[in-house]
Amino acid sequence: MTNRTVTLTDPQSEKTLELPVVAGSEGDPTIDITRLNPELGYFTYDPGYGTTANCKSDITFIDGASGILRYRGYPIEQLAERSSFMEITFLLLYGELPTASQLRDFQRDITYHTMVHEKVNSFISGFHYDAHPMAILSGVIASMAGFYQQNLDVNNPEHRELAAKRLIAKMPTVAAAAYRHYMGWPSAYPRNSLNYAENFLHMMFSVPAEAYEINPIAAKALDMLLILHADHEQNASTSTVRLVGSTGANPYACVAAGIAALWGPAHGGANEAVLRMLHQIGDVSRVGEFIKRAKDKNDPFRLMGFGHRVYKNFDPRATITRKACHEVLADLGQNDPLLDLAMKLEKIALEDDYFVQRKLYPNVDFYSGIIYKALGIPTTMFTPMFAIGRTVGWVAQWMEQSASPHRIGRPRQIYTGHGERDYIEIDKRD
Ligand code: SDX
């Protein structure tokens, strides 16, 4: 808390209220409005919470104007280039980079939780073959409360840590099983000899008929993408996890709610929507037509993978994935015309006043799908890939909230309905 205050004067009551200014270690200061209603009788109105902080957090910092993203103070560019997904998972959960022995122990803990109860596989087999994998993921993760709920006390830090490790470890196993269900392939169990990204590729693509060779380029690219998706402060799905967690619900229910929120095309579902959009555009000659549609208020079409609530500059993750697209496709000896199309679409959009004035830049979802596609991951699995990475941020933020005193989340509203009126018996209604 600073000593600074802001003063509000209500012309109606002529009352004046001094509200404290709360400053974090970085970022814009906030006004603590908790006394606004009891002392001045007002609520605040902030649809979409564009100007409202719902918590204090030490985990991730974003400066939208400068395109800055840091996990526990470390710039995302350095982590993507030099760290690993397991290392940043430790960082996000515990606040510091691990020593070699801490990382080894942590990696072992996660590895030994990658299997799921065999009944989970029979649960997945109950879904229609073409069920969207996000439907399977949200359903199965919520069901895990039935397997691991026994005496789970969310107020016990050891119980919280075990649940966090289970969720991080099992998310790829369930996601890969959802894909294999669609393919009609038998389950592929995790291999303890493989690292996190290698294990996912094995669980996704290995078939009993032959040995599966892990492509190190694919594993490295996947590990980097998981780092980029791990956390992003109070985005819609993380805020959902916090809101559900604020009721004391178990972590499996919280993360299942986060998966549901992430699925929307305005959020994590955008990576799938970008690929569909690029296929729909098809050729650079049609880019103008789609840019026109994106600008037309009467057309619900939006340029998927563009724009962001916080970034009013390049999303640093988009800059990293754009560069990685070229490297990964070149390393894999692939050439994807969709990358050229995406680059041209980005160039044309960023020269158009509509996008420039609204500070609409490519976000994390604009290029990530092109890399997933190059790794052989089907479009419907793109959002589950986002969920695998973001599970770390969800559980880190849930642990942070659960470890300190907090109130149940309960926003207010502006009521615009009828005033009081008396009940009318049905035979008297016209
Ligand atoms: C993610 O919050 C996070 O951190 C999310 C995320 C994370 O890591 O968790 O970063 C991941 O969700 C990235 C965003 C993925 N979604 C998309 O790519 C879908 C397309 N983008 C838009 O739907 C939109 O930009 C949002 C949802 C991302 C942001 O919406 P806002 O902040 O509510 O912005 P807005 O809708 O108020 O838009 C402001 C203006 C509007 O025009 P005007 O009314 O001012 O004339 O910009 C326009 C919008 O119509 N606009 C777009 C646009 N995005 C915004 N116009 C065309 N195409 C777009 N993509």
Instruction: Tell me the mean pLDDT per 10 residues along the chain, length 430.
Output: 87 95 96 96 96 97 97 98 98 98 98 96 94 98 89 94 98 98 96 98 97 96 98 98 98 98 97 96 95 96 96 96 96 95 95 96 96 97 98 98 97 98 97
**In the prediction, which pLDDT does 3 show?**
85
Q: Whose CA is nearest to atom 35 of ligand 1?
A: 309
Pairing of strands 30-31, 15-22: antiparallel
Out of 298, 356, 360, 368, mutate this one to test ligand 1's pocket (max ligand atoms within 8 Å of CB): namely 360
Tell me the two tokens of residue 114: 């990658």
Q: Whose CA is nearest to atom 12 of ligand 1?
A: 267
Which positions are annotated as active-site residues? 267, 308, 365
Tell me the two tokens of residue 294: 């994106």
| Amino acid at site 108 | R
Q: Whose CA is nearest to atom 23 of ligand 1?
A: 266
**In the prediction, which pLDDT does 107 show?**
98
**In the prediction, which pLDDT does 151 show?**
83
Q: Is the CB of 269 inside a 6 Å radius of any atom of ligand 1? A: no
Out of 309, 357, 391, 394, mutate this one to test ligand 1's pocket (max ligand atoms within 8 Å of CB): namely 309
**In the prediction, which pLDDT does 2 show?**
65
Cα distances (angstroms) measured from residue 376 to each of 13, 24, 202, 277, 332: 65, 43, 12, 19, 11
Whole-angstrom Cα distance, residue 332 to residue 384? Answer: 23
What sign has the CA pseudo-torsion 225, 230, 235, 240? positive
DSSP code, position 113? T
Q: Is the CB of 274 inside a 6 Å radius of any atom of ligand 1? A: no
Pairing of strands 5-10, 60-63: unpaired
pTM of the complete model beyond 0.95: yes
Other Cβ atoms less than 10 A from the Cβ of 54: the count is 14
Q: Could you tell me if 72 and 92 are in contact, meaning their C-beta atoms sit under 8 angstroms apart?
A: yes
Give the chain's end-to-end CA distance (angstroms, integer). Answer: 59
